[in-house]
Structure 1
Amino acid sequence: MVSLTLGGAIASAMALTSIFMPLAAAQSLPNLRILPLGDSITKGASSSDKCGYRKRLRQKLINYGIDSEVNVDMIGSETYGDMADNSHEGHSGKYLGDINTYWQLSIRARPNVVLIHAGTNNMDLNVDVDQAPSIMESIIDGVFDNAPDAVILVAPVIWANDAAMQARTDTFNQRLDGIINAKQKAGKHILSAPIGIGLSDLADKKHPNDAGYEKMAKAWFTWILDAHDRGWLKSPVNVNANELPGMGLGTGTGTGSGDGSAALDICENGIWTKKGTIFEGFRTWEEVGTIVGPVENGRRDKVILADLNNDGIADYILADDDGTVRAWLNDGRPDRWVSLGKVNPPWSTIKGEMIRFADVDNDGKADLIALYPDGAAKVWKNVDNGRKFESLDSKWATGLESRDKIRILDMDGDGYADYVVLYAGGAVKWARNTHNNGKDTSKRNWEQAETIAPGPANMPAGRARLHDLDGDGRADYLIVYEGGAVKALRNTGNLNDGGTGQRNFDDLGTIAPGVSGVTGDMIRFADMDGDGLADFLAVADDGSIRMWKNLGIVGTKGASMRFADLDGDGKADIISVDARGRARAWLNKGSGAWDDIGNIAPGLDEDLSAAEIEFVDVNGDNLADYLVVYGDGAVKAYLNNGNIPEKTKDRIWKQGVVISSGVGEPGRNIRFADLNGDGYADYLVVFDDGAVDCYLNKKNIPPTNGGRIWEEKKRVATGVGEVGSKVRFADLTGDGKAEYIVQYLGGAAIAYNNTGNIPDVGKARNWEDMGTVALGVSPQGPVRYADISGDGKADYLVVFGGGSVNAYVNSCDWKAP
């Protein structure tokens, strides 16, 4: 008998958190406005960069949220240390009584996270030790009274290399723990954040050294994520930085608000002119209506949707209470179904609640499975496109958990349905199908079960689902709420493969906000029209189905958006690309008008999990081409045929051609921009320290006569002390050559003018400091640069998660003073 075992699959909660982090860690952090509050340790005393834990913590949070461009703003009335955004509220030598007034200096900036480590000087100098817990409680209450939406993390006073001081510290920390527990039980969002400091982590008897501050940063980071997992972190309250001077609002380039009008003397009237919202976003789902009417003896819990005949379209199946299975084939048109009648094998002991369908042998046709109360399963092979099923393996699985927890579906995209345990709290265990299916009784049908998702904290019980949304063959993770809203996390295909560096699941956010009259129990997902995308379905009590067609982009729409000129009119158009490379486009008609031309690319039949799709003109015809930048830095180009918007005239894209096999750098470091103004995008490698290597475009795409595509490598920028992930390239001045821009996550930006000396490195410098070109705007979101007005100068675009775009048009004439 082939069996499933749990041996070795259960690890400690900490191991799951640190190794997998597929759900909680994948959920995007909100923007963070952090108030570090305390004494000299908060300030960063005895650290080599004078930043203490603050710089280290900020970088961890920025790196963690890099895909969603989370903004981390440290606030406070004090500044100290070699870091951008060096604001804080750490006051050297001060006691808790003093700190009980200092928090008031910046609390009106409304932090959503407050980090408190205070009391060190009281414990050291034996000042107000008995009153210290009550003073700390007063600090906590004051913060909550003035920032009720904030999360407060309180670190017990760290270990000191002084016996008398440590004795006082131990007593204080014990009482502090009681205060925190009481506040939390009362519903306050507060956590104790213990920090393990030892002798080797101290610079003197009480101040950490760099290693100690690194431990503090890691601890704060861990507890911030814990608060997020609990659902406590909310976006910061909107405040006007101009009305709150001296509180540290902004990310190290001024006040954090405004339009950059003072950035350059040559732009007398400012750089950017606000145009407001120029694009309202786009729909994810389009209502089709009823596709299945009421069926005789139909009932919602009897309905199964699965592809029986390998046409890529889900068919309609009813599993009656007595074990009879009825099926109707779907021809892809609403309410057009071909009845197959009763299709189950002869049986008497199998009842409707046991019936499942899934493709267990990779032939594209769903097989029939009987799932017993203990999770054991038998399987019958689909041998005639849903009309006939023959026994395949009567001992297919012996079970891991009870039937209500078992799901049979493909998690890794190999075409073979796996055995999955989905717990009420959202945790997922996965036993991979070995492809044996009982053929060799000496071999196992399943690999050992392992946890691939620990489950998000505070998720309503029983609301997790597993469905393949995007047609990549891998079941994604959904949270379907009772009211009908749906959140999703995309299966990356990683599934605990630590060598890829990817999470198991990437957060797509809310993919459906809910439909009037549709509750969570009614919702299903299945591809009903054969386009490879799972549609949103509402199954009524009588088994009838209403459908909303999947239009191709689910989840955070802003992250899917690209800006490029597809039709050669000089104005950037909008493209939305999904994880499989499918693309929709809206042509820029000027003055905020957009022509929705629908799909312009059907997607690629290959693994794009580590790839990025970009739209760049690499052959100098003023039409953006479709580029696939692979994880290893290789690039394939599908050249634009010039048939947009007349898509019916001919192919939109030419056959793909490899234009780079890579240069030994990962794809995440690859950029394309025209650095020498010849109209051809060049191949750039942006290193983690902001340095840039350039391979100039030799105007030979597609390559002819075996000629080279790119010139030899040239180092064109050495970096400016900012990480490469912040570096952007865009032509701000309208001379055809891209500037080097450092884009901060809070919206501020500094830029370096392209002098036109590339590629001749023997000339004067390649870049001239332009200073600050943007200070951020309100409301702020991820920033893109693209010319939407057609004047040749890149504009400042703020792209929000729902797909809407606010524009600030580049109105500077950029003439030398």
Structure 2
Amino acid sequence: MASHIAFLSLAFLSSFVSSIPLSTPGSIIDTRENVQVDSRFNYPLDKRQNKAFPLRVLPLGASITYGVASSDGNGYRKALRDQLRFEGWEVNMVGNEQGGTMRDNDVSGYPGFRVDEIIKKAEMVVGRQPNLIAINAGTNDATQNKTGFEVETTGKRMDQMLDLLYEKIPGVTILLSTVLQAKSDDTTRRAKVINPQYRDIVERRRKQNQRIVLAEMFESDKPWLSKNDLSDGVHPTDDGYKKMAAIWWNAFQEADKAGMLQPPNKATTVNRCENNKATKLDANKITIPGNFYEPVQSVQSTEVSKNEGREAVWAKDGEAFYIYKLVNNNYADGARVDIKTNCWAKDVRWLDVNGDGLDDFVCLSSGRTLNIQLNKGGEYPPKFEDVGKCTVPHGGDDGEIVDPKLPKKP
């Protein structure tokens, strides 16, 4: 095996290198010149500097919140996030799940869930202490109309969820969406029973000086976001999701003008490392790059050996990990790395978690927990030690600021 992978040339790896960027989160490597280049986008800071605090945004709801039926899985979230950032806000999306191709893809959207079920999920995410929550929930109440959860009482369940959120997240601003029109006449009829309850909730709570704004998605019998904007009878098309983003944006502007927004509270999520070895790690000292969670390829460029420059590490699903030195622009001295894990290549990341100058092996699991094996250095290839799991803070990315060109509601 060793002879098979030893002295691997650049030509042998070209099938990977020509189509796969050898990159670590936050940087790329130009193998032709062996020059490391910063991959952060450049963007204007003037607008962002005008905002006194960042937004920690929780998209909360069911499948529409998750982005089902959108071509990129982002639904309305990326367009809304882009609009907020284009207007100068620093944004970090939060949630218990991840979905879509966007970098900052945290979300609490649960396909098929009614309002009563979403309440239980809301209890699990309040520790993130968002200062802005966008709620779209009730479509499944309308489609299912289940005994004990009839549409006539959906407003009561929404009130319960709002009570929970305001109690657990002091000062939070909530944008509450009405239920979208559906192609099914029965679902649309039930949505018309739910929506007046939501409108009454917002009106009553505004009179109580609570920070809440209605995001009206079904304003008439011929709504702007109509049946023609649905892909499958329930979920919007890409253009429909952009309309949703525009409605959210209008609601956000109303909240901003009313002075409802305030800085986020300190998150109460516990950042910790559950070490099973003598080596101790402090989760609060682990710095996660903004694009750490974006998709990666099976071949990544890392620095796992001292005085060896950068290496290419190939993660082969279900088999092993292979490392190759980059010598004079050729990949050589191939070796198998003894990393014992069932981690899929898509979940592998390389990050120096303890500040010793060597990249460590990280496998992502649900909830973005990091399963860490520390790089112990030494002989080539280096040895790795399993030190357990860490839950670490995650901030929003600082990718390119773009104008999403949201459609204008007539």
Q: TM-score, normalised by structure 2?
A: 0.53
AA partner of residue 105 (structure 2): N
What residue number does 1:206 align with? 234
1:49 corresponds to: 72
- 1:184: which partner in 2? 206
CA contact (8 A) 1:85 1:250 kept: no
Aligned to 2:160: 138
Say whether residues 1:253 and 2:292 are aligned partners. Answer: yes
Structure 2: distance between partners of 1:96 and 1:267: 54
**Counterpart residue identity of residue 230, structure 1:** A
3-state SS of 1:152 partner: strand
Residue number in structure 2 paired with 1:60: 83
- The CA RMSD measured in Å over matched residues stands at 3.3
Letter in 2 for 1:184: R
Q: Report the alpha carbon displacement of residue 239 of structure 1 after superposing the two structures with TM.
A: 2.8
Question: Would the aligned equivalents of 1:108 and 1:244 in 2 still touch at CA under 8 Å?
Answer: no
> 1:91 and 1:778, CA in 2 relative to 1: closer, same or farther beyond 3 A?
closer
For residues 237 and 253 of structure 1, do their structure 2 counterparts lie closer, same or farther at Cα, with a shift above 3 Å needed? farther
1:166-219 residue CA offsets vs partner (Å, 9 max, x unmatched): 111111100111111111110100011112411221102111010110011111
Q: Closer, same or farther in 2 for the Cα pair 1:58/1:780, shift >3 Å? A: closer
In the TM superposition, 1:8-87 aligns within 5 A as: 28=51, 30-65=53-88, 70-87=89-106
Give the drift of 1:236.
1.4
Change (3 A) 1:28 1:83: same
CA 1:253–1:176 in structure 2 vs 1: closer, same or farther (change >3 Å)?
same
Partner of 2:254: 226
Q: 1:781 to 1:174 in 2, by over 3 A?
A: closer
> Does 2:147 align with 1:125?
no
Residues 327-406 of structure 1 mapped to structure 2, 5 A cutoff: none
More strand by share: 1
**Separation (CA, whole Å) in 2 of partners of 1:217 and 1:34:** 14
Q: Distance in 2 between matches of 1:51 and 1:90?
A: 11
Q: Which one of 182, 185, 193 corresponds to residue 215 of structure 2? A: 193
Pairwise CA distance, 1:30: 2.9
CA shift for structure 1 position 150: 0.8
The amino acid that maps onto 2:98 is T
The equivalences for 1:598-609 within 5 A come to none
Match of 1:221, SS state, is: helix
Deviation of 1:778 (Å) = 11
| Alpha-carbon spacing, 1:250–1:207, altered in 2? closer, same or farther (3 Å) | farther
Shift of residue 82 of structure 1?
A: 0.8
Q: How does 1:224-623 map to 2 (within 5 A)?
A: 224-239=252-267, 243=271, 252-253=291-292, 264-265=303-304
**CA deviation vs aligned residue, 1:380-402 (integer Å, no higher than 9, x gap):** xxxxxxxxxxxxxxxxxxxxxxx
Q: Distance in 1 between matches of 2:136 and 2:261?
A: 20
CA distance in structure 2 between the aligned counterparts of 1:160 and 1:57, rounded to whole angstroms: 22
Aligned equivalents of 2:184 and 2:396: distance in 1? Answer: 48
Deviation track 1:570-605 (CA, whole Å, cap 9, x = no partner) reads: xxxxxxxxxxxxxxxxxxxxxxxxxxxxxxxxxxxx
Q: Is the 8 A contact 2:103 2:293 kept in 1?
A: no
* Cα shift at 1:265: 3.5
Change in 2 beyond 3 A, CA 1:150/1:64? same
* Alignment correspondent of 1:457: none
1:237 shift after superposition: 1.6
Question: Is this contact kept in 2: 1:155–1:193, CA < 8 A?
Answer: yes
- Match for 2:292: what amino acid? T
d(CA) in 2 for partners of 1:83 and 1:202?
22
Task: Letter of the 1:60 partner, please give it.
Answer: Q
1:253 Cα deviation from its structure 2 partner: 2.5
Which residue of 79, 91, 100 maps to 2:119?
A: 100
Q: Does the CA contact (< 8 Å) of 2:60 and 2:133 recur in 1?
A: yes
Q: Which residue of 2 aligns with 1:88?
A: 107
When residues 779 and 73 of structure 1 are mapped into structure 2, their CA distance, relative to the original with a 3 A threshold, is closer
Unpaired runs of 5+ residues, structure 1, are: 1-23, 256-262, 269-775, 783-817
- Give distance in 2, aligned partners of 1:267 and 1:31: 39
Aligned partner letter, 1:197: L
Change (3 A) 1:204 1:778: closer
Structure 2 residue matching 1:197: 3-state secondary structure: coil
CA contact (8 A) 1:53 1:216 kept: yes
SS in 2 for 1:181: helix
- Structure 1 residue 149 displacement after superposition: 1.2
Tell me the equivalent position of 2:379. none
- Kindly tell me: are residues 187 and 203 of structure 1, through their superposed partners in 2, closer, same or farther at Cα, counting changes over 3 Å? same
Q: With structure 1 as the length reference, what TM-score do the two structures score?
A: 0.27
- Alpha-carbon distance in structure 2 between the residues aligned to 1:77 and 1:777: 13
Q: Give the letter aligned to residue 85 of structure 1.
A: D
Q: Aligned with 1:130: secondary structure?
A: helix
C-alpha change, 1:780 and 1:74, in structure 2 (3 Å) is closer
Q: Distance in 2 between matches of 1:207 and 1:780?
A: 27
Equivalence for 1:381: none
Correspondent of 1:172 among 185, 189, 194? 194
**Counterpart Cα distance in 1 of 2:236 and 2:186:** 18
Q: Find the aligned partners of 1:95 and 1:140 in 2 and give their Cα distance.
A: 15
Q: Which amino acid aligns with 2:228?
A: S
Answer whether contact 2:152 2:193 (CA < 8 A) is retained: no
- How far residue 88 of structure 1 moved from its aligned partner, in angstroms, is 0.4
Q: Is the 8 A contact 2:57 2:130 kept in 1?
A: yes
Q: 1:244 deviation in Å?
A: 7.8
Distance 1:781 1:82, change over 3 A: closer
Which residue of 1 is the match for residue 130 of structure 2?
111
Once residues 779 and 126 of structure 1 are traced to their aligned partners in structure 2, the CA distance between those partners, rounded to angstroms, is: 38
Summarize deviations over 1:357-409 as a string: whole Å, max 9, x none.
xxxxxxxxxxxxxxxxxxxxxxxxxxxxxxxxxxxxxxxxxxxxxxxxxxxxx
Q: Partner residue of 1:162?
A: 184
What do the CA deviations read for 1:776-805 (whole angstroms, capped 9, x no partner)? Answer: 9999999xxxxxxxxxxxxxxxxxxxxxxx
- Specify whether residues 213 and 781 from structure 1 end up closer, same or farther in structure 2 by C-alpha distance, changes over 3 A only: closer
For 1:117 and 1:250, the matched residues in 2 are separated by 30
Separation in structure 2 between the aligned mates of residue 97 and residue 778 of structure 1, nearest angstrom: 28
C-alpha distance in 1 between matches for 2:252 and 2:97: 22
Alignment CA distance shift 1:243-1:54 (3 Å) = same
- Distance in 2, matches of 1:156 and 1:779, equals 30
**1:204 counterpart SS class:** coil
8 Å Cα contact 1:33-1:236 kept in structure 2: yes
2:254 counterpart letter in structure 1 = D
Indicate the SS of the match to 1:73.
strand
Cα distance change, pair 47–187 in 1 and its aligned pair in 2 (3 A): same
Runs of 4+ in 1 over 4 A off after TM superposition: 24-27, 249-252, 776-782
How far 1:126 sits from its partner (Å)? 1.5
Shift of 1:252: 4.9
Give CA deviations for 1:465-484 in whole Å, capped at 9, x if unaligned.
xxxxxxxxxxxxxxxxxxxx
Q: Quickly say closer, same or farther: Cα 1:121–1:29, change in 2 above 3 A.
A: farther
For 1:253, give the aligned amino acid.
F
> In the TM superposition, what is the alpha-carbon distance from 1:26 to its structure 2 partner?
11
Aligned residues: 239
Higher helix residue share: 2
